[in-house]
Structure 1
Amino acid sequence: MAWRLVSLSIILAMWGAHAALAQASYPCVNDAPDPYQRGVSFAPLPDGRAWGSTAGVTVAADGTIWAYDRCGANSCAGSPLDPIIAFSPDGKVRRHFGGGLFQMPHGLTVDDAGNVWVTDNAAKDGRGMQVYKFSPQGQILMTLGKPGGGEAPDGFFQPNAVAIASNGDIFVAQGHTARGDKSLILVFSPEGKFIRSFGGKGSGPGELDVPHALAFDAKGRLLVGDRNHNRIARFDRDGSYLGEWKQFSRPSAIVVTRDQTIYVGDSESQSRDAAAYAYNPGCEKGIRFGKLEDARVLGLIPDQQPMSVSSTAEGVGVDKEGNVFGAEVGPRDLKKYLKK
């Protein structure tokens, strides 16, 4: 009898752990309240230059706002301008670097040590499609991938995002266009040695098509913005599939704050033409947020400047006060949303 009770306890514990991981997926939420003021342009660029497209913004632990500008255009190919910029919380430029290095900066994150990680999503003339680790002062500390791209794991094809696990492992998501066969998550050691990959082209559980964003929660689970499937796919750190969420719409950006609030930027959804790009019936663009404990959408910052394809924030950052920063490709701006 005792062994039966022990076995039952183990089964119940396993069921409880599974249930905690398997929060339900709900229909897309469009009617959540908006507790933010209308977004306003956050900061001027160095030398008074105009913003180009940007899809990357993040807030470091010290309050520094890191963003990039695609050199006044939607590409930095051939430009000497510094695309990576650090701003103070009041919008003043602290430093900038990276001139002449990037073709198209794309994914941006800052690790716990303050180092800045940026992916280069395009290739031209044998350059690009690499992942860079910078010190906060702009010194290159590590480079992953071959110049101009290549086959995994030695090279990347359109690296979209980078995230750093609590043990220092480096996770890179690749595959941005119709070449969905290249949609992978690649994992490297803190020293840059390849460990494994997972994902791959497909629409089934654990398969991906344009993994556009990466974020870890406090339990080490990886959230992947599986954009062409209009869902967030969830994995453990070893790549085992845990489930999906549809309620946050079409994810271009994912941020998880220290209090385990998730913010998801949808810059693309359209419900009009089923044959057109970014079809996501019943979903509107905007920044949705909620608590990870139940994954329910609690709020929505709506798209305030609707455009045909890409508007509102493709990149999202959140400061300690809960103010939101949105990096925009179409409108070519970095906006700040203050709480009401």
Structure 2
Amino acid sequence: MLDRRSFLRSGVIASAATAALTQSVALVDAAASDDGTESNLIGHGDFRYRVNKEWAQVNPFRTPIDNCHEMVQDSRGRLVMIGDDPRNNIIIFDKAGKVLDSWGTYWPGGHGLTLDDEGGADMLYVSESGWARSLQDGVTMVRQNGYVAKMTIDGKMIFTISHPMTVGAYSPEMPFQPTETAVAPNGDIYVADGYGSDFILRYDQHGKFIQKFGGHDNEDKNYNLANAHGIALDNRDPANPRLIVTSRSQRAFKYFTLDGKWLKTVNLANLQICRPVIHGDLVYAGVCWSHNFAEVKTAKPWLYQSGFTMVMDRDDRVISCPGGEQPIYEDGILQPVKQDKARTFYHGHDVCIDEDENVYVCQWNGERTAPVKLERV
């Protein structure tokens, strides 16, 4: 009997022989490249995907998208996305890409979305980053303090976590612009202040402050964070759960214990990664930028398109970069990885992996595009 992976591979071989007859119009053109592979297949090794940019059936007038920031899959198999268009911050898709629902009009800087199963009930933790478009011109970005909201899956507010100065953790002049959360098995909530003061703030399940770590100017430089953009609970070893924290400007992931002790740093060459997403034994992430800002001759180098996605194994080695070049290690060190010549993506901001190992890619500054589906082959 064929296992699922073998079955899928055999299906790919069979379908390639009759591609002109069977390929869906929803897929990107799959003309053969010089090496005989399909030009719309991206990725490396065992992690290759067919690009489907038309998966999401979104009417831009009825359900507008500005920046598509993050996506999670709930217990019903639905795909829940957050964006920063306040006309519908939350958009819920089925597996076929049909919009089932949309809600939320109060997060102009809607950024982080974490789902937690609490006694069989799906709960969402939403991070309002505090970045919003000016009401005057709709273009200028305005910076203000943000907050974290705990919500039910259908949009009912449970509680919020506001500026840490209210609990004595910050002084009033310190900015608080949270970008992500993670929830521990005991219910503790970890907030990554990635656009603010770069601390990781820990609260109990009721929102009571416990501690903070990270930030800047620590005597032990391992604790320093620069753009602490993402955080995730790493429960791959259930006996020793830990946290993976993004230090995006340092182009690194940092591992910490649940009480904030630094464990190790994983340097990622030129990859400015967003939040870590753990699926099975692997860590996936969007790569927002892969270029050196100083070397791009443009007034706004952060708008330069150089993003893709990445897959990292249990040993912290990058094994595939869908939308980018093949990752290469020399003497155990990851070498710089560039965006692919096809420029498949704009800026990879988040990924969501379903039970069939398909990957849904959310993009920042992606010209208002909906999530892209990468179909595992």
Tell me which interval the TM-score lies in, with the shorter structure as reference length.
Answer: 0.7 to 0.9
Tell me how far apart the structure 2 counterparts of residues 339 and 120 of structure 1 sit (CA, whole Å): 32
CA distance in 1, matches of 2:79, 2:171: 31
What's 1:158 paired with?
Answer: 177
Provide Cα deviations, 1:35-56, integer angstroms capped at 9, x if missing partner. 0112414323466334211111
218-227 vs 190-199, which moves further: 218-227
Q: Determine the structure 1 residue equivalent to 2:110.
A: 105
Q: Which residue type is aligned with residue 173 of structure 1?
A: A
Taking structure 1 as the reference length, the TM-score comes to 0.76
The answer to whether structure 1 residue 89 and structure 2 residue 106 are counterparts is no
- Judge conservation of contact 1:326–1:336 (CA < 8 Å) in 2: yes
Tell me how far apart the structure 2 counterparts of residues 199 and 208 of structure 1 sit (CA, whole Å). Answer: 6
Residues of 2 paired with 1:147 and 1:96: CA distance?
30
Matched, 1:335 2:354: no
Distance 1:160 1:126 in 2: 13
Q: Secondary structure at the match of 1:138?
A: coil
> Aligned in 2, Cα 1:98/1:272: closer, same or farther, shift over 3 Å?
closer
The CA distance in 1 between the partners of 2:288 and 2:171, in whole Å, is 31
Deviations 1:190-213 (A, max 9, x none): 000000000011482121011001
> Matches of residues 126-141 of structure 1 in structure 2 within 5 Å?
129-141=146-158
On the 8 A contact 1:129/1:148 being kept in 2, the answer is: no
Q: Hey, what's the Cα distance between the residues in 2 that align with 1:142 and 1:268?
A: 34
Asked if the contact 2:144/2:177 (under 8 Å) is kept, the reply is: no
Specify the alignment match of 1:263 in structure 2: 284
The 5-angstrom pairing of residues 1-340 of structure 1 reads: 32-33=44-45, 35-45=48-58, 48-71=62-85, 76=86, 81-99=87-105, 101-113=106-118, 114-122=122-130, 129-146=146-163, 152=169, 157-176=176-195, 182-202=197-217, 204-218=221-235, 219=237, 220-247=241-268, 249-257=271-279, 259-271=280-292, 273=294, 285-292=307-314, 294-302=315-323, 303=339, 306=343, 311-331=346-366, 332-333=368-369, 334-340=371-377
CA RMSD of aligned residues (A): 3.3
| SS of residue paired to 2:289 | coil
Give distance in 2, aligned partners of 1:134 and 1:41: 30
Taking the aligned partners of 1:149 and 1:88, their CA distance within structure 2 comes to 40
CA deviations 1:85-105 (Å, max 9, x no partner) are: 221111222222212x11210
How far apart, CA to CA, are the structure 2 residues paired with 1:70 and 1:44?
19
Q: Distance in 2 between matches of 1:275 and 1:285?
A: 14
Describe the shift of the 1:166–1:328 C-alpha distance in structure 2 as closer, same or farther (beyond 3 A).
Answer: same
Contact 1:202 1:208 in 2 (8 A): no
Separation in structure 1 between the aligned mates of residue 295 and residue 103 of structure 2, nearest angstrom: 42
1:316 shift after superposition: 1.4
- Equivalent-residue separation in structure 1 for 2:311 and 2:265 (angstroms): 16
Q: d(CA) in 2 for partners of 1:151 and 1:210?
A: 22
**Structure 1 portions without partners, runs of 5+:** 1-30
The structural deviation recorded for 1:162 is 0.8
The question of whether the paired residues in 2 share the 8 Å contact of 1:121 and 1:158 is answered with yes
Instruction: Report sequence identity in percent.
Output: 24
Return closer, same or farther for 1:90/1:233 CA change in 2, 3 Å cut-off. Answer: same
* SS of equivalent to 2:117: coil
Amino acid at match of 1:166: P
The answer to whether the 8 Å contact 2:194/2:230 transfers is: no
For residues 157 and 35 of structure 1, do their structure 2 counterparts lie closer, same or farther at Cα, with a shift above 3 Å needed? same
8 A contact 1:55–1:313 mirrored in 2: no
Count of matched residue pairs: 290
CA distance in 2, matches of 1:107, 1:163: 10
Structure-2 change in CA distance of 1:83 and 1:149 (3 Å): farther
Structure 1 residues 48 and 126: CA distance shift in structure 2, 3 A: closer
Q: Structure 2: how far apart are the matches of 1:134 and 1:272?
A: 37
**Residues 208 and 272 of structure 1: is their aligned pair in 2 closer, same or farther, counting only changes over 3 Å?**
closer
Which shows bigger deviation, 229-238 or 115-124? 115-124
- Larger relative contact order (C-alpha < 8 A, sep ≥ 6)? 1
The offset of 1:299, in angstroms, is 1.4
CA shift in 2, pair 1:306/1:149, >3 Å? farther
